[in-house]
Chain A
Amino acid sequence: MTVIALDAMGGDFAPDDVVKGAAWISLDTTIDVIIVGDEKKITDRLKELKHNPEHLSVCHASQSIKMDESPKDAIEKKPDASILVAARLVKEGKAEALVSAGNTGACIMACAKTFTKIPGIHKAALASVYPTETRRGRKNDPFSLILDVGATINVTANDLVTFAIMGSSYASRISKNPKPRVAILSNGTEEIKGTAEIVDAYRMLKDYKRINFVGNIEGIDIPKGTADVVVCSGFTGNIVLKMLEGVSETVMELAKYAYKTSYLWKLGLVMLRGAISQLKDITDWEQYGGAPLLGFESLFIKAHGRSKARATANAIKVAAKAASSGLIKDISTTIKDFSFV
């Protein structure tokens, strides 16, 4: 039975929707969830919901960190914040993974403060999935993984290498893609293209056989799905991710505009409604669950700040899957092996 610590106070719709997500999980799965936060608010909310308390427990935390608070100050001044209490539960072995939809900076800092890094890894990476035109793995998955998307702004070549190893492990364990293609995001496919860190990382990865390194890719390759795992700095990754979200939203807005503008276009869109609905499903972030923060000996899944019950429930499922998949052990073994090489 997997136990997940859930930060009930993080996110735009916390605690009501976060608790609702945990309630759904308690009815549909055998995952045990420790809901961390204001005990009274959580209990009052649970009383309003269908749930199974046999799989739920509540751990009181007297403080919480708001979405717009300065992460550094909040982590320092609020030792009993729900995210810190939840992280400690994971660290102490009372839970196997942590899930939060709260302030991203505060979440990362809470993990950095509480968790131990995997030996050989200097910087953590936040990974996110995005839809592509290619299908991959046993599940015919349309998603590629990109990391880092914001945890580490400045990276070294070593960091990029460890990101590649972590991303490859995650894709093979979670997306069931046995040999994911790993690439570095650069401004050209040639070995010599990119910053000094990118060039060095390319050199270090090209002869390493435990991961399927396919070289550099350019921005144009991202939506095509040329690589299953895209490695970059947190600064670049964050811009790419936000741009992908922006493009998706703009396409939907354009479709709405076209629907209103001309009857002919309206008819065309009606005829295309099946395809549009599929596109909406693929780009629906609520079904992805959340983004894993990789590099620590403990697992953290960052759910979207706008997560409602469904997204929270999916984030818990992803966390449980990652916890029972042997992901951390796999990353540790590969990093050790790479250090030896």
Chain B
Amino acid sequence: MEHIIYRWDLDKTYLRTEFETVKGLIRTAFQSAEEKESVPGAPSLLKELQKDEANSVYFISGSPKQMRKVLEKKLRIDGINWTELVLKPNLQNLLHGRFHALREQIGYKLPVLLEDRVKSGQRNREVLFGDDAESDAYIYSLYADTIAGKVGEGTIEEIMDLARVPSANRKKSFHAVGRLEHSDAVGRIFIYLEKRSPPKGFDVYGSRVVPIYNYFQAVLILYREKLMGMTSVIRVILDLVFEHRTPPSVFANSFQDLLRRGVIDMSKSVEIIDGIRRNLNQKIIPLPQNFYEDLMAMLDALKEVENKDVAVSVAEPIDYVGLYIDQHRKLARQRKSMFDRLFG
């Protein structure tokens, strides 16, 4: 297996965080590490990815630096190791009067990602994990295409103008861009649909971006792409069964969703189902009553699904500037409605 860099967002991707309400915001800020909850399956998936010691995990979060202690403790409780945990310098932003930067993500995440790419060795492939709360799909795609040399400095500059990115962060970005070795290093961008956003909204980014509804779906895709073995797939399934009481129907329905969306092709799915059948049956841990039989019956039924062809590449060049303008308008509307909900 190759050595891969896994980059994860934290809030809403790894951690269950609620900042849509004042109550949720306050709770998030004052929660202890023990009180923080992970998204089901995320810790077990990460632990499996780390089994290959050459792989590395980077976290990049929009949480303020002041939360480092709590977040690191939470990751240690979950048994996660990490190479780097980058947090947002929000206190500095506040003290320098950069109020716009408090919630702006491109000017924060893109330079960090690019700098890190240059620093951490440019031959590694990368797999990225984000969510649908803000603009992870956009930032990660922009990052991937910048590495691939498909996005030039002019476009980045235009985007940074629109996002009103402070000059220090611009310098960092361009400095990193100048030192990049171009390659299609980012194989897959997983977007965890915490808000259950319609998947169609992500079509614009091509098939590299895969919206997922749970981490079982991520595991299936990682297995398909040979980034994970069947034993790891089984371990994540067992974690979801025993820690989160996930019933067989959720696994079968999630699998069917990937088949129908054409993310996994039928021939591969037959191989996955047979792998699950063999490996889950050999487990020493007793499964809940009828779980194995029910799951296998449901998975076998998936072989009748009318599977579409699997698209593998980004068909069209992405218009990042146009997308930024559209997304910015949409986000402004969402923020207004959130503000109205909170205080209206």
A251 at the interface (CB under 8 A from B): no
A1 at the interface (CB under 8 A from B): yes
The interface stretch among B24-32, B191-199, B228-236, B266-274 is: B191-199
Give chain B's interface residues, CB within 8 Å of chain A. Answer: 195-200, 203, 213-214, 247, 249-250, 252-254, 256-257, 260-261, 304-306, 308
Cα–Cα, bound, A47→B304 (Å): 20
Q: Are A53 and B213 in contact (CB under 8 A)?
A: yes
Cα–Cα, bound, A32→B298 (Å): 13
Q: Can you give 25 A-B contacts (C-beta < 8 A)?
A: A3-B249, A32-B253, A39-B260, A40-B308, A43-B260, A47-B198, A47-B200, A47-B261, A48-B198, A48-B200, A50-B196, A51-B196, A52-B213, A53-B253, A53-B256, A53-B257, A54-B213, A54-B249, A54-B250, A54-B254, A55-B253, A57-B249, A57-B252, A57-B253, A60-B306
Q: Are A60 and B214 in contact (CB under 8 A)?
A: no
Chain A residues whose CB sits within 8 angstroms of the CB of B198 once the complex forms: 47-51
A258 at the interface (CB under 8 A from B): no
Nearest A residue (CB) for B214: A54
Question: A50-B197, A52-B213, A53-B213 given. 16 additional CB < 8 A pairs?
Answer: A27-B196, A32-B249, A39-B305, A43-B260, A43-B261, A47-B198, A47-B200, A48-B200, A49-B198, A54-B253, A55-B250, A57-B249, A57-B252, A58-B260, A58-B305, A60-B304
Closest-CB distance, B4 to chain A (whole angstroms): 27
A244 at the interface (CB under 8 A from B): no
A47-B198, A52-B213 are contacts. A58–B256 as well, Cβ < 8 Å? yes
Nearest 9 A/B pairs, CB to CB: A53-B257, A47-B200, A43-B260, A54-B250, A50-B196, A57-B253, A39-B306, A47-B199, A48-B200
Nearest A residue (CB) for B253: A57
A56 at the interface (CB under 8 A from B): yes
Chain B residues whose CB sits within 8 angstroms of the CB of A51 once the complex forms: 196, 198
Q: Are B305 and A56 in contact (CB under 8 A)?
A: no
Nearest B residue (CB) for A56: B253
Give chain A's interface residues, CB within 8 Å of chain B. Answer: 1, 3, 27, 32, 39-40, 43, 47-58, 60
Cα–Cα, bound, A1→B256 (Å): 19
Cα–Cα, bound, A118→B118 (Å): 72
Closest-CB distance, B207 to chain A (whole angstroms): 13
Chain A residues whose CB sits within 8 angstroms of the CB of B250 once the complex forms: 54-55
Chain A residues whose CB sits within 8 angstroms of the CB of B260 once the complex forms: 39, 43, 58
Cα–Cα, bound, A56→B253 (Å): 6
Q: Which residue in A27, A40, A49, A57 is a CB contact (below 8 Å) of B306?
A: A40
Cα–Cα, bound, A83→B97 (Å): 63
Nearest A residue (CB) for B216: A54
Cα–Cα, bound, A275→B35 (Å): 48
Q: Are B254 and A53 in contact (CB under 8 A)?
A: yes
Chain A residues whose CB sits within 8 angstroms of the CB of B199 once the complex forms: 47
Q: Are A1 and B257 in contact (CB under 8 A)?
A: no
Chain B residues whose CB sits within 8 angstroms of the CB of A58 once the complex forms: 256, 260, 305
Chain A residues whose CB sits within 8 angstroms of the CB of B308 once the complex forms: 40
Cα–Cα, bound, A298→B196 (Å): 33
Chain B residues whose CB sits within 8 angstroms of the CB of A60 once the complex forms: 304-306
Chain A residues whose CB sits within 8 angstroms of the CB of B254 once the complex forms: 53-54
Cα–Cα, bound, A48→B203 (Å): 11
Cα–Cα, bound, A43→B257 (Å): 9
Nearest A residue (CB) for B257: A53
Cα–Cα, bound, A54→B240 (Å): 13
Closest-CB distance, A16 to chain B (whole angstroms): 14
Chain B residues whose CB sits within 8 angstroms of the CB of A47 once the complex forms: 198-200, 203, 261
Cα–Cα, bound, A270→B267 (Å): 65
Nearest A residue (CB) for B246: A54
Closest-CB distance, A195 to chain B (whole angstroms): 49
Chain B residues whose CB sits within 8 angstroms of the CB of A43 once the complex forms: 260-261
Question: For B195, B203, B247, which residue has the most chain A Cβ atoms within 10 angstroms?
Answer: B247
Closest-CB distance, A80 to chain B (whole angstroms): 13
Cα–Cα, bound, A60→B254 (Å): 17
Chain A residues whose CB sits within 8 angstroms of the CB of B200 once the complex forms: 47-48
Chain B residues whose CB sits within 8 angstroms of the CB of A55 once the complex forms: 249-250, 253
Cα–Cα, bound, A58→B257 (Å): 9
Nearest B residue (CB) for A39: B306
Cα–Cα, bound, A43→B195 (Å): 19
